[in-house]
Homo-oligomer: A and B are copies of this chain.
Amino acid sequence: MARWEPGARERLQAAALELFAARGFEQTTAAEIAESVGLTERTFFRHFSDKREVLFHGQQQFLQAFVDGVETAPSDASPLEVIASALQAAASFFPDERRPFSRTRQSVIDQNPALQERELHKLAGLVTTVAGALRARGIGEPAATLAAESGATVFGIAFAQWIREGERRSLSEISSDVLRELLYLAGAATRPASLS
């Protein structure tokens, strides 16, 4: 019978990330990850369907946090106010304690084209889901998709800044700053006659 290993999941995840970063994702096997923390390959596969899942398993909760932020925004909020609410909800998914993990995870992904594709796919899924949640609030197209894409863009830029070495601001603060920059860019661009 399978023995319950307290904290096995977290230990496997930390060990996997360390090995991926040191040796490369492709060069690391599930058995090696398990062995490095004194567990069996079988235990690994009880927690993760494959080694990629170590990097992507929080995905559904992250998506849900983003969507919760859309759904809990005040009913009279404008599309980009709804996005601001979603960005704050998504940021709460990444407290500062998680920054070193997120930083290492990103460096592993940046080194592997297949993982990059998966990450892009995840962001595309985020846009589709959030646009649907905006339409459910009565926001039409193309406003819903534009707002959802803008939210994903702001999140992506803010996240990349958050994991930069030396950055001290929280993801929530950076997201607000980047969203404000987008509003400023768009605001500055409405003035010239050439765009109107």
Contacts and interface: CB of A to CB of B under 8 A. Distances in A.
B157 A146 contact: yes
Nearest to A179: B195
Most buried by B among A117, A142, A149, A189: A189
A182 B178 contact: no
Interface string A81-95: 100100000000000
A37 B153 CA distance: 44
A78 B189 contact: yes
Interface bracket on A: 35 or more
Copies in the complex: 2
A80 B149 CA distance: 16
A146 B81 contact: no
Interface string A136-156: 000000110111011001101
Contact of A185 (B147, B153, B188): B147
A107 interface: no
Contact of A153 (B79, B120, B150, B187): B150
Contact of A117 (B117, B146, B150, B153): B117
Interface of A: 77-81, 84, 116-117, 120-121, 124, 142-143, 145-147, 149-150, 153-154, 156-157, 161, 178-183, 185-190, 192, 194-196
